C-alpha cells in the first residue's frame, strides 16, 4: 500500500511538471489558432503521461530494456495523439472560417445562412443564434425602410397641406391690406377657419411626436365605456349634422375600463371624425362597445364603401390617407396613427376590417379588474 502511494506521488509530480509547462505554453500562445491550442493540449497530455511513467520507472530501477519498451509505447501514443489533435484542430478552424464568412454576409446587409456540413455543438449553436439575429436584423431593416418611406410621405403631405392654407392666408391678407375686398367679414371668417385648420395640424404633429418619443403620460381612471362613448358622440354630433350623417350608439354596454379619459376620448373622436368625413350624406356611423372575454372592444362602423385590401395593412401608418377620393380636405394622415399610438400605450390594439358597405375600426382594451 505504501509502495502504491509512493508510485502515485511520483507519477503526479512528473505529470504536474508537464502540466505547468503546458499551461505556460498555452498562455503564451493564447492568441493563436484553436488548432495550435488543441495540439498543445494533446502534447501536454502525452508529456504528462511520459514524465510520470519515466519517474516511476527510474524509481523502480527498471532495466534499460524495459525502460526502452515503455518509452517506445509512450512515443507511439504521442504520435497518434498529436496527429488526431492536428486533424481535429484543422477541422474546427475550417468550420470556424466558414461560419465567419457566412456571418460577414449579413453584417454587410445581407442575410445569414449557416454553412452546411457537420459541426461541433458549440459552433452549431452559434450558427443558430446568428441565423436568429439575422432574421431580427432583416425585420428591423424592413421596419426602418417602411418608417422612412412613411416619414418621407408625411413630410411631403404636411408640406403640401401647410403650403395651401398659408398661400390662402397670404392672398387674403394682401387683399384686405390693399382694400380691394367687398366683403371683409367673409375673409375674416375664412382666415379664422384656416388658422383653426393649421392649429389642428400642429396639435396632431405634437401629439404624434410625444407618442413616438414615448413621452405620452397617461393618467388612467376607472370609468364606464357607456360614458366614454356618450361623450365622444356628443362631441361629434355637430359635425355629423353638418354632413347629414346619422350617429347611432345603440349597442353600447356599460362595461368598466381603466383608461386615460382625455386620451381615449381623442381616440374615439378621431375615429368618428374620420368615419363622418368618409360616409356619404344620409349615411350612418354606428358606435358600439361590448365585453369579449377579458377585453372591451370599442368599434366605429362607417359607410365609406370599404378600403382596398392592399391598403388595409397601412391604414394606421403615419401619413396614410388612402386614395384621393377618400382623402378628407382637412386631413393630414395623422389621426389614425395617433389612434394606434394611444391605444398601444394603453396595452391595447387597433384594427380595421371591411364590412358590408363600409369598414369597421375596432379598439380592443384590457377590461378593468372587477371588485
Tens of pLDDT along 230-280?
888 888 999 999 999 999 887 788 888 889 888 899 899 999 998 998 899
Residue reference for cell 509530480 = 13
- C-alpha grid cell for residue 166? 398659408
Burial class (CB in 10 A: 0-12, 13-18, 19+), 171: exposed
Q: Residue 265 belongs to what H/E stretch?
A: helix 261-278
In terms of pLDDT, which residue wins out, 290 or 129?
A: 290
**β-sheet with 349-355: strand ranges across:** 246-252, 284-292, 295-301, 358-366, 349-355
Nearest in space to 44 (alpha carbons), one of 93, 84, 81: 81
pTM > 0.85: yes or no: no
What whole-number distance in Å separates Cα of residue 341 and Cα of residue 208?
A: 8
- C-alpha grid cell for residue 13? 509530480
In DSSP terms, 360 is beta-bridged to: 301, 353
Nearest in space to 303 (alpha carbons), one of 322, 277, 327: 277
In terms of pLDDT, which residue wins out, 162 or 292?
A: 292
In DSSP terms, 290 is beta-bridged to: 297
Q: How many residues does the chain have?
A: 371
Whether residue 40 has pLDDT greater than 80 = no
Burial class (CB in 10 A: 0-12, 13-18, 19+), 230: middle
Other CB atoms within 10 Å distance of the CB of residue 42: 21
Tens of pLDDT along 303-328?
988 888 888 888 887 766 665 433 44
Amino acid at each position: 500500500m505504501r509502495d502504491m502511494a509512493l508510485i502515485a506521488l511520483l507519477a503526479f509530480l512528473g505529470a504536474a511538471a508537464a502540466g505547468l509547462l503546458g499551461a505556460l505554453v498555452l498562455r503564451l500562445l493564447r492568441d493563436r489558432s484553436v488548432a495550435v491550442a488543441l495540439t498543445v493540449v494533446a502534447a501536454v497530455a502525452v508529456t504528462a503521461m511520459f514524465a510520470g511513467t519515466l519517474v516511476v520507472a527510474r524509481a523502480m530501477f527498471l532495466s534499460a530494456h524495459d525502460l526502452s519498451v515503455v518509452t517506445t509505447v509512450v512515443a507511439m501514443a504521442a504520435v497518434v495523439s498529436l496527429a488526431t489533435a492536428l486533424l481535429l484542430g484543422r477541422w474546427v478552424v475550417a468550420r470556424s472560417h466558414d461560419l465567419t464568412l457566412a456571418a460577414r454576409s449579413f453584417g454587410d446587409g445581407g442575410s445569414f445562412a449557416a454553412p452546411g456540413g457537420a459541426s461541433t455543438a458549440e459552433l452549431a449553436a452559434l450558427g443558430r443564434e446568428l441565423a436568429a439575429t439575422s432574421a431580427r436584423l432583416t425585420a428591423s431593416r424592413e421596419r426602418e425602410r417602411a418608417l422612412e418611406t412613411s416619414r418621407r410621405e408625411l413630410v411631403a403631405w404636411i408640406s403640401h397641406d401647410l403650403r395651401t392654407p398659408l398661400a390662402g392666408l397670404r392672398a387674403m391678407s394682401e387683399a384686405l391690406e390693399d382694400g380691394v375686398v367687398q366683403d371683409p367679414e367673409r375673409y375674416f371668417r375664412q382666415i379664422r377657419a384656416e388658422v383653426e385648420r393649421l392649429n389642428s395640424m400642429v396639435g396632431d404633429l405634437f401629439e404624434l411626436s410625444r407618442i413616438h418619443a414615448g413621452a405620452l403620460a397617461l393618467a388612467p381612471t376607472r370609468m364606464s365605456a357607456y360614458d366614454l362613448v356618450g361623450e365622444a358622440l356628443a362631441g361629434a354630433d355637430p359635425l355629423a349634422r353638418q354632413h347629414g350623417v346619422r350617429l347611432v350608439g345603440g349597442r353600447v354596454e356599460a362595461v368598466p375600463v381603466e383608461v386615460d379619459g382625455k386620451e381615449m376620448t381623442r381616440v374615439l373622436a378621431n375615429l368618428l371624425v374620420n368615419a363622418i368625413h368618409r360616409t356619404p350624406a344620409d349615411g350612418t356611423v354606428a358606435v358600439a362597445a361590448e365585453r369579449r372575454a377579458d377585453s372591451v372592444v370599442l368599434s366605429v362602423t362607417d359607410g365609406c364603401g370599404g378600403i382596398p385590401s392592399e391598403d388595409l395593412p397601412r391604414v394606421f401608418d403615419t401619413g396614410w390617407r388612402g386614395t384621393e377620393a377618400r382623402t378628407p380636405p382637412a386631413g393630414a394622415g395623422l389621426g389614425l396613427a395617433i389612434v394606434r399610438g394611444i391605444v398601444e400605450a394603453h396595452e391595447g390594439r387597433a384594427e380595421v376590417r371591411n364590412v358590408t358597405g363600409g369598414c369597421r375600426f375596432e379598439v380592443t382594451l384590457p377590461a378593468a379588474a372587477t371588485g
